[in-house]
Amino acid sequence: MKSRIVLLGAPGSGKGTQAEMITRHFAIPVTSTGTILRRERDLGTALGLQADQISKQGGLVSDEIIVKLIEDWLNLHGENGFVFDGFPRTVPQAERLDEILKKRGKRLDLAVWLEVSEETIQNRIACRLQCRRCDFTTSLTSAHFSERSVCPYCDGPLIRREDDDAAVLQNRLAEFRNKTEPLLSFYEQSSALRRVDGNRDRETVFSDLAALIEEEGA
């Protein structure tokens, strides 16, 4: 089974949703740069507050900061594998991740690229809700959360993310095209890259991902 996995794709492509489904099904630890940075923000650290302001404006936090936080997380939680939701976001981050894994005598097993249309992105972002406490992600149209905005896993409040504003989304998409899309070429050079149609419902997408994780060989 593959246990060192990165999920890549545009905002709204379903990375967070699929990461949650993978960790519940396969018990592989999952995190995202957003989760780590929100923790720093909630702790009130200078780094967390600085990064929060950048994110609210639709920008990307520097590679140096992100990679350091990811390496710290791996030291604590990544011994038996990981699912990274939205990391790496740039080629330099991907190169640093390879270096970190190489030092551990490991390599990346699977880089999943969730392909979605801009229409799908806009529709999902317009309805997205996220738990402020545990980062569970859902939508207004799912399970009547519009009537009772409470997380089913930790009872935390389900809220609209500030960076899901339409204007901020356009900034995030521009950043994605400029800095993250080059990762396609980077991972195409290895056997780890797999493309998955993310426009479909979450269960169908997860079925494809589960098959890739369970796939034998490279």
Q: What is the pLDDT of residues 18-34, one digit of tens each?
A: 999 999 999 999 999 88
pLDDT tens for 86-95 read: 899 999 999 9
Q: Which of 4, 38, 89, 96 is catalytic?
A: 89
The per-residue pLDDT for 164 is 67
Task: Reply yes or no on whether 172 is catalytic.
Answer: yes
Q: Which of 2, 15, 38, 124 is catalytic?
A: 15
Contacts of 192 (CB under 8 A, 6+ apart): 107, 108, 109, 110, 111, 218
Q: Which of 161, 179, 194, 195 is catalytic?
A: 161
Given a contact cutoff of 8 angstroms between Cβ atoms, the answer to whether 172 and 11 are in contact is yes
The per-residue pLDDT for 145 is 65
Report, as ranges of residue numbers, the positions in the chain whose pLDDT lies below 70: 60, 141-147, 163-165, 217-218
Task: Reply yes or no on whether 124 is catalytic.
Answer: no
Angstrom distance (rounded) from CA 69 to CA 49: 15
Q: Which of 2, 38, 96, 172 is catalytic?
A: 172
The per-residue pLDDT for 197 is 98
The per-residue pLDDT for 140 is 73
pTM value is 0.80
Task: Reply yes or no on whether 102 is catalytic.
Answer: no
Task: Name the percent of the chain in helix, strand, coil, to the closest 5.
Answer: 50, 15, 35
